[in-house]
Structure 1
């Protein structure tokens, strides 16, 4: 008998001890996991993890010198009889009427003061707390010093409040002793609703076949073997299995020795919490099954987003306006001075869009550069293209992620969609379009135009003066001759012709330079719009992916 009990106690203790510091580190990893998934995963899926963090913190802060053990079972299994037999006192009521035990009773081996805070947390009323320590016992009870034994209500009670109380207490105790009887040991409720749920807590689970004295000696091994088969099917292979009967002290020797070993180790609370962490890791693992995507979204997807944003921001219209403004301003600077005034009657294309005007407008207040523009609103096709591009960013970034992360990524990608129009408008208005300075060659050509124009004006004035003198009967002017032509005539005609030639020669140059200006502006606008896309779409998506990676790493640490 002693050898069997010794092997049972060794199996019950397990092969490895749970280090308190390691357990605290695992719990901290669960907290980091919860921080990472906060707002990304529905709270309804995180109840188990939140409960663990809260309960573990409280349990570790309370007495570690006490081990809370619960006797759980169905009606008629004899829990209360075992409770009284272990305490060697009649503390919990035993009767024929079912259910007999309506509330939890507690028996504390050792001073009650050290366990009161723990029992307050567990929720055992003071009038149902008892102390098992007497000077008359000498050292008979010293082996259980630090044990807090609970007699739970029946989990199959007809009163729902009893079942709820059992479920609550089973989540708080350090070790559970499941008490079954020969008649109902194979009951489906205890196996499917309770024992299978404790398959990750085998280190803190003990099963006893009570009332074994009612079985013939030849039947007991067969019943124990069948019960072991059921426990193995529940995932509780290796869990200690004992036979007990409360009518004689010899019937609880094995159970008492198992409890003494558990109390001496002071490991049950740590093992229970470690098993709870294992349960949370297994449950939450489905939320982070895949590796976190790297460098998502990819460059091709981002480029598609930038093109869609450029279309929605009116970049093509602004670039076209830049080309038109360049030709308009170049014509005003290099055209014939006598007709430049006509150009001022035509509005500057950029000014019509409320974008930076000619160089003379640089003295305007700085805030005018970020005022609302008059860029045409995006068409339905452009808005649709932008929506598809944002959706593509979310889909490509969340590819392979388990639910509900794809939805979280999509929500993040669209989280600032309402702010995009104003942001794009400000980005376009604040972009340096390269139109704030006049090129040097404009000034050179403009100076040349003024020179030939002055020559034409001088020749015209010279000729007018000669005609006026002749009309007044005064001596005619003697015009210098260049070959057969008078000099004033050459100045007039040469100035006009030179002005036309200069204008004709610069026109293709202006068109070429205007196209270059358009390309530069389009490139700058696209780059500016891309920063808006990065800030309003890509960055929120990557933030969610970063949190996914943090959650996965934290859960991996919690599983160690």
Structure 2
């Protein structure tokens, strides 16, 4: 008997600090707030239930300890319940379940216990108060105990099983009552006992009805039952032998319950075990640490390219090159043919992009509401969708499946804003085409100089022919060798103008390519800002949420 008593007293020695438990529960609550909107609700259900249930239990009586007797049909838990109470409170059956509802026996006054029983859902007509004036001090060691007799978990009535499952999630300590015939029941071990491996501190297993075994067989059955419990992950759980046929048979169980009641730790240990179980599940959902995507990640570069193609950057940079040639030719070409060139539409003006010297779209002027860049093709849209998916996959690489899904949702969360944002990026980008180049002005001055020389020579010649036709004295022209100066001015001005135009064309083409490169670099930076704001920032927010979730989970894990 002494050995069984010592085993009964092996309820966990470590005490649970209430403040630390509250801090762990608060960490779980913060975790739920952090991952809200990122992870699916269904796997988070146990954690939400824990936060609500723990808050309710801690707000109720801390002076009462709720202990449930759970077992299968015929295990004798109702008989054990009556023996502990010292009176017949719960009906007893042998072959079929007779405990259809939960019965409660309360030791001591019900002060504060009524609300607890209401929360447990025990009907008032099934509540009994054990301690009375006639008991004297006999029951004082169990003062504060609320003992529940649960329905049989293997009952054919589905409502009974639901009641058992509900209360097993609420009580402070569970005493599993098994009998020599069904102590190895597979359903009990797989569906119930193994689920309590995180609650070893608040679990007791009782081999009841040992009077049905020869005394020599009791140790053998207990050894086999201990082996099964160890396989269930319940190593160290107190294992007691009881029988109601002997008045001292429930002594070991009573001693264990007295110790539990005196410690006032069962509720805290139960909640702490609940937190442990929830943290294990949440840890599986969080996975390893994850850093943000670096700016030079190939997936980010591919995203920028895909956004640039969807925005029409290739069309714009082509228009910049053509517009440069058009404007350079208009500024440096032969003045006599410039009017014809200016009748052509400016390539950038056609796209409603920055025009020359303060035209609409110029960064120094007002921005147009939208550009006229063509809509992206189906191939561009497909490439963009692939780039978004690749970024999400890279960001969630190595994380449990829920997080890559969250990354994908974040990457696409602002996809509806992308067209306008890309359009604004194109319209606001400084393409370097708002002012004429200085060398254009120099060449323009040379063109006007030689053109004026040609016009002066032509006028001089026309004047000479007119005077001759009118019979006036012939106008003598200065000569340069054998060539009259007016003729030299006319031909020289024309040839010089054509020569300047011809010599300027290679320079215009080279400068146009440079302007294209500068515009492409500027647009690439503008597109990268759009990608950062509308795609990468939401993804980084999920990564930050993942890091915060891991941090608070460490707090919840620490006992």
TM-score of the two chains, using structure 1 as the length reference: 0.93
Q: CA deviation at 1:482?
A: 4.3
Judging changes above 3 Å, is the alpha-carbon distance between structure 1 residues 377 and 154 closer, same or farther for their aligned structure 2 residues? Answer: same
Label 1:255 to 1:491 Cα distance change in 2 as closer, same or farther (>3 A): same
Q: CA deviation at 1:97?
A: 7.3
Within 5 Å, give how 1:135-534 maps onto structure 2: 135-295=133-293, 299-359=297-357, 361=359, 369-534=367-532
Alignment-derived partner of residue 103 in structure 1: 101
Answer yes or no: is the 8 Å Cα contact 1:370–1:430 preserved in 2.
Answer: no
Q: Is the 8 A contact 1:362 1:436 kept in 2?
A: no
Task: Verify the 8 A CA contact 2:46 2:278 in the aligned structure 1.
Answer: yes
Whole-angstrom distance in 2 between the partners of 1:72 and 1:357 = 84
**Greater displacement, 466-475 / 516-525:** 466-475
CA contact (8 A) 2:73 2:94 kept: no
Give the whole-Å Cα distance in 2 for the aligned partners of 1:545 and 1:8. Answer: 49
SS of 2:112 mapped into structure 1: helix
Distance 1:335 1:426, change over 3 A: same
Contact 1:297–1:397 (Cα < 8 Å) also in 2: no
How far 1:382 sits from its partner (Å)?
Answer: 3.2
Distance 1:263 1:241 in 2: 18
Asked if the contact 2:360/2:366 (under 8 Å) is kept, the reply is no
Contact 1:101–1:154, Cα closer than 8 Å, also in 2: yes
The answer as to whether partners of 2:292 and 2:540 remain within 8 angstroms in 1 is: no
For 1:463 and 1:362, the matched residues in 2 are separated by: 47
Partner of residue 29, structure 2: 31
- Report the CA distance between 1:234 and its aligned residue: 1.8
| Aligned residue among 50, 57, 60 for 1:59 | 57
Deviates more, 1:195-204 or 1:496-505: 496-505
Contact 2:4 2:240 in 1 (8 A): no
Could you tell me how far apart the structure 1 residues matched to 2:297 and 2:241 are? 68
**Do 1:196 and 1:235's aligned partners in 2 also have CA atoms closer than 8 Å?**
yes
Is 264-273 or 76-85 further displaced after alignment? 76-85
**Counterparts of 1:409 and 1:47, CA distance in 2:** 21
Task: Pick the aligned partner of 1:132 from 125, 130, 133.
Answer: 130
Name the SS for the 1:280 alignment partner.
Answer: helix
Q: Which residue of 2 aligns with 1:8?
A: 7
**Structure 1 equivalent of residue 75 of structure 2:** 77
Once residues 451 and 366 of structure 1 are traced to their aligned partners in structure 2, the CA distance between those partners, rounded to angstroms, is 33
Change (3 A) 1:95 1:66: same
Q: 1:298 to 1:68 in 2, by over 3 A?
A: farther
Q: Deviations over 1:291-323 (max 9, x none)?
A: 324535752221122222222222222111111
Unpaired runs of at least 5, structure 1: none
Give the Å deviation of 1:2: 4.4
Q: How far apart, in 2, do the equivalents of 1:510 and 1:192 lie?
A: 83
Distance 1:381 1:209 in 2: 71
Q: Deviations over 1:101-127 (max 9, x none)?
A: 111111222221311111111111122
> Structure 1's 367 and 137: CA in aligned 2 closer, same or farther, altered over 3 A?
farther
Note the C-alpha offset of 1:261. 0.6
Between the two proteins, the alignment pairs up a number of residues equal to 558
Match of 1:541 in 2: 539
Q: How far apart are residue 404 of structure 1 and its match?
A: 2.7
Deviations 1:137-187 (A, max 9, x none): 222221111111111111111211111100100000000011122222222
Please state how far the C-alpha of 1:56 moved relative to its aligned partner.
Answer: 1.1
CA contact (8 A) 1:296 1:397 kept: no
386-395 or 166-175, larger mean C-alpha shift: 386-395
Between 1:225-234 and 1:434-443, the stretch displaced more is 225-234
Q: How well do the aligned residues superpose, as a CA RMSD in angstroms?
A: 2.4
In the alignment, the residues of structure 2 paired with residue 56 and residue 19 of structure 1 have an alpha-carbon distance, to the nearest angstrom, of 15
Quote the Cα distance in structure 1 between the aligned partners of 2:289 and 2:126.
52
Most deviating of 191-200 and 208-217? 208-217
Maintained 8 Å contact 2:8/2:239:
no
Cα pair distance change 1:280/1:296, threshold 3 Å: farther
Q: What TM-score does the superposition give when structure 2 sets the normalisation length?
A: 0.93
How far 1:438 sits from its partner (Å)? 1.3
Distance apart, 1:92 and its partner CA: 2.1
Distance 2:71 2:3 in 1: 28
Cα distance in 1 for partners of 2:368, 2:358 equals 18
Alpha-carbon deviation of 1:253?
1.7
Q: Does the alignment pair 1:87 with 2:85? A: yes
Q: What is the distance in 2 between the residues matched to 1:420 and 1:348?
A: 27
| 8 Å contact kept, 2:361–2:368 | no
**3-state secondary structure, aligned to 1:359:** coil
- Unpaired runs of 5+ residues, structure 2, are none
Indicate the SS of the match to 1:150.
Answer: strand
